[in-house]
Structure 1
Amino acid sequence: MRSLTATCALALSLTGLCATPLSAQTVIVKADRMLDVESGRYVENPVIVIVDGKVQSVDANAVIVPAAVGEKREVIDLSGHTVLPGLIDMHVHLDGRPEYGGYSSLRFTDRFWTIIAAANAKKMLDVGFTTVRNLGASHYNVVGLDQAIDEGWIDGPRIINAAHALGATGGHCDETFLPPSFGVVSPAVGDSPDELRKRVREQRKYGAEVIKACATGGVFSRNTAPGIQQLTLEELTAIAEEAHFWGLKAAAHAHGAEGIKAAILAGFDTIEHASFADDEGIRLAKERGSFFSMDIFNTEYTLSQGAANGVLEENLEKERQVSKAQRDNFTKAYRAGVRMVFASDAGVMPHEQVGGQFAVMVRLGMSPIDAIRAATSNAAEALGQEGEVGTIQPGAWADFIAVDGDPLADVSELADVDAVIKGGKRIK
């Protein structure tokens, strides 16, 4: 077991407090053990020192020294628990709920979904997801939500938001449920490389922190087939290049084999769904370092509850066609060495249930530690935020969860999180 940190030399075991200004807010977290996700090993009796929301030091078997006069200090005692980094879900839709499928959502005013987004954000934080990537939202709902969380008005996870998803006219990311008389078109569709470059710039202008594009059709749209490519290689390349030019990551919604390969060749950082990936697509992903972001848990909810929620039969049939292939290819891609990240597509399923996906990942062949890494260190790397989230180390945000069991022995512990800390603040 490696030593994690020693920030200053003191005779006392607990380090780091000597350098803490008395005006800073110090939080100390202690627990029975901590999972170091990078090594896959436990640290016994950790003491984690947090200053102004970030980890200052981590020590095993440390002794907590008395507070200095005037020092602001809180101790969070998680005895009897295992501490892990806060979880990261790389594919959510905060301004949606599965209870409103098909046309049933049209009962509500547009701003209803802004409030739904705030409620879903709190639900995800409460079940341990301290960072989420929101891949598509209407009316810039999640941009505003992100700002409200950052300003401290409401509790929610750290959000990396895509604003509107880019796509082709009539494609999966366009408005496909309403007739021409409504004149409703997604503000992020384009039909040439130049048009789509402009859409990237527009979404970034209005708050997008990642760019999402729909390379193929999808399950929950009309008049689109999940396996059919909808953007050309040239269009996808323009989107990825433009996103990277502005310092943003690019995520490709891609179910079909040809769309998956085109998105990888175009330079997309993550491939969402990856349902019908073929051997060549899996090889390309491994060679080029693209992450697969596969939502392999929501099928049961959709097929059991979708009809009652208003989901159309044509969409349910597409889900039936996609689900088995996606799960088979999850196993194949993992065994081939493709890098994987945790992705639930929450919104298609209830946000508060997404922790149940860990058990499915393990059932499909992934080791428990790799399932945890998919939602911590791998996800942080895919976000370009290594050392900031998905880890417990000096300089990282103090985002933790705690469970009362051993997640390496039973990964389903992560579906029942006992404590959540975000930025040094105990949420649950």
Structure 2
Amino acid sequence: MRSIRLVAAATLALLGGTAIAKTTVVYAGRVITDANKPALGPSTVVVTDDRITSIAPGRGEAPAGAEIVDLGDKTLLPGLIDLHVHLTGDPGGDYRSEAVDPDEWGVVVGAKNARLTLRAGFTTVREAGSAQYTAFALRRGTAEGMIEGPRIVAAGPPLSIIGGHGDVTGFREDVHAVLDQGYTCTGAVECAEKVRKASRAGADVIKITATGGVLSQQGRGLEGHFSNPELVSIADTAHSLGLRVMAHAHGARGIESAAAAGIDSIEHGTFADDAALKVMKAKGSYLVPTLMAFEGIKERLGKGIYTPTVEAKVRMTMNDVGKAVGRAKALGVPVAFGTDAGVFEHGRNAGEFALLVKYGLTPREALASATTVAAKLLSMEDQIGRIAPGLSADMIAVAGDPLNDVTVLEKVDWVMVRGRAAD
């Protein structure tokens, strides 16, 4: 009790008494402070403005004026992190809509999806590809509290080869020229230029499409797109700017080349074999499996939603989906949580946990993939991914024990992000 009062008093003193800090006291029956540590019993967590200031056993007395959140016997745990979302899009849309809908419409769609994502318990997301400024606008909106949603780490438009996955495809050449966002590159020098352009535009991370993709209209398979010099140039330039690189990659040799070049995370990794995974392990690359994407795709097969080109590529992948997770774990490659939300409905992100467990992770490892492991990949482990003094007040509450049953994460009862409880 005394310690809670001292925390509140110290905060006021630091502010010089000229401002009143907002104090929130959270009572929970069980607290998972870190997915890698044993859970605590009934505890009191104190939040001052947007930061966690203390965690104490039992039910401490709240200071005068504090807002009280009593979660009863629910489990309190760190806010979840999804490293691969597309907030500005919804599943099943016609690819030709990019020639019809203005970029501004993506912000409207993104505001809707940001709210759904936060309510699902995801307090930080990495936006993995969008029109030039749509994700950046959403990032600012959620940071300033104007839009209800998670913290957004945004890539903006992905870098791709001309005519590859990530480029505008499926139209006449004159239409391609009009729709081009300016992020295709050929050769090491031009690829370095496009990384710098993305950085200047406001990207937090560089997204590239290192191999062919399932849902684009290019029909030349799922193997590597960039040359080795291009990949090295992208990685080296991004790292020189303090940015990490995430690479959409399906085919094994494309994965291997991307990892060898120093790409930080492999997204999807569908056909990753031992040779590719060993290079990922040696270079420190993470695997972000996005298993829910294939659930969403599977639900739409044969319904006239996808073109024949896309359906053929989908059927080529289905027998291998998920196999890379167990292989990665066995070889010591870190597996981080990402879903590709937007390929399926936003808000269903937590369905990924059960799939990760199905393909080889323990419930504890699956939770870590969306908290401590994901935070480390973002270089934000001193800000998010745990409940600890000094970290951002990003927390959620669920009924049950996610360390034994990850499906309880599919129904989140309470969410706080940056010290603000979701309405």
Classify the TM-score, shorter chain. Answer: over 0.9
Tell me the TM-score normalised to structure 2 length.
0.94
Q: Is the 8 A contact 1:37 1:372 kept in 2?
A: no
Tell me the TM-score normalised to structure 1 length.
0.93
- 1 or 2, which has the higher strand percentage? 1
Is 1:32 matched with 2:23?
A: no
Q: Which residue of 2 aligns with 1:3?
A: none
Give distance in 2, aligned partners of 1:214 and 1:13: 49
Matched ranges for 1:288-327 at <5 A: 288-308=283-303, 310-327=305-322
Q: CA deviation at 1:321?
A: 1.5
Letter in 2 for 1:375: A
User: Mind listing any 5+ residue stretches in structure 2 that lack a counterpart?
Assistant: none
Give distance in 1, aligned partners of 2:330 and 2:125: 26
Q: CA deviation at 1:322?
A: 1.6
Deviations 1:220-243 (A, max 9, x none): 112244532110111011111111
Q: Is the 8 A contact 1:226 1:255 kept in 2?
A: no
Aligned pair count?
Answer: 415
Is 1:178 matched with 2:171?
A: yes
Q: CA deviation at 1:45?
A: 1.1
Q: Which residue of 1 aligns with 2:215?
A: 220
Q: Is the 8 A contact 1:100 1:309 kept in 2?
A: no
Q: Is the 8 A contact 1:27 1:49 kept in 2?
A: yes
Q: CA deviation at 1:92?
A: 0.6
SS in 2 for 1:351: coil
Q: Which residue of 1 aligns with 2:159?
A: 166
Q: Which residue of 2 aligns with 1:274?
A: 269
Q: Which residue of 2 aligns with 1:230?
A: 225
Q: Is the 8 A contact 2:131 2:157 kept in 1?
A: yes
Give distance in 1, aligned partners of 2:296 and 2:2: 56
Deviations 1:230-268 (A, max 9, x none): 101110111111111111111111111111111111111
Structure 1 pair 338–322 and aligned structure 2 pair: CA distance change class (3 A): same
Give distance in 2, aligned partners of 1:405 and 1:326: 29
Q: CA deviation at 1:40?
A: 3.1
Give distance in 1, aligned partners of 2:173 and 2:81: 39
Q: Which moved more, 1:326-335 or 1:194-203?
A: 326-335
Structure 1 pair 12–26 and aligned structure 2 pair: CA distance change class (3 A): closer
368, 371, 377: which one aligns with 1:376 = 371
Letter in 2 for 1:110: D
57, 61, 72: which one aligns with 1:60 = 57
108, 117, 122: which one aligns with 2:110 = 117
Is 1:96 matched with 2:93?
A: no
Q: CA deviation at 1:106?
A: 4.9
16, 41, 49: which one aligns with 2:7 = 16
Q: Is the 8 A contact 1:96 1:116 kept in 2?
A: yes
SS in 2 for 1:56: strand
- Over the matched positions of the two proteins, sequence identity in percent amounts to 35
Structure 1 pair 226–37 and aligned structure 2 pair: CA distance change class (3 A): farther
What RMSD in Å do the two structures reach over aligned CA positions? Answer: 1.8
Q: Is the 8 A contact 1:173 1:186 kept in 2?
A: no
SS in 2 for 1:58: strand
Give distance in 1, aligned partners of 2:62 and 2:322: 51
Give distance in 1, aligned partners of 2:253 and 2:110: 33
Letter in 1 for 2:123: T
Letter in 2 for 1:127: A
Q: CA deviation at 1:47?
A: 0.9
Q: Is the 8 A contact 2:402 2:408 kept in 1?
A: yes
Structure 1 pair 205–283 and aligned structure 2 pair: CA distance change class (3 A): same
SS in 2 for 1:413: helix
Give distance in 2, aligned partners of 1:88 and 1:106: 32
Give distance in 2, aligned partners of 1:105 and 1:310: 16
Q: Which moved more, 1:141-150 or 1:341-350?
A: 141-150
Q: CA deviation at 1:181?
A: 2.4
Letter in 1 for 2:340: D
Structure 1 pair 60–101 and aligned structure 2 pair: CA distance change class (3 A): farther
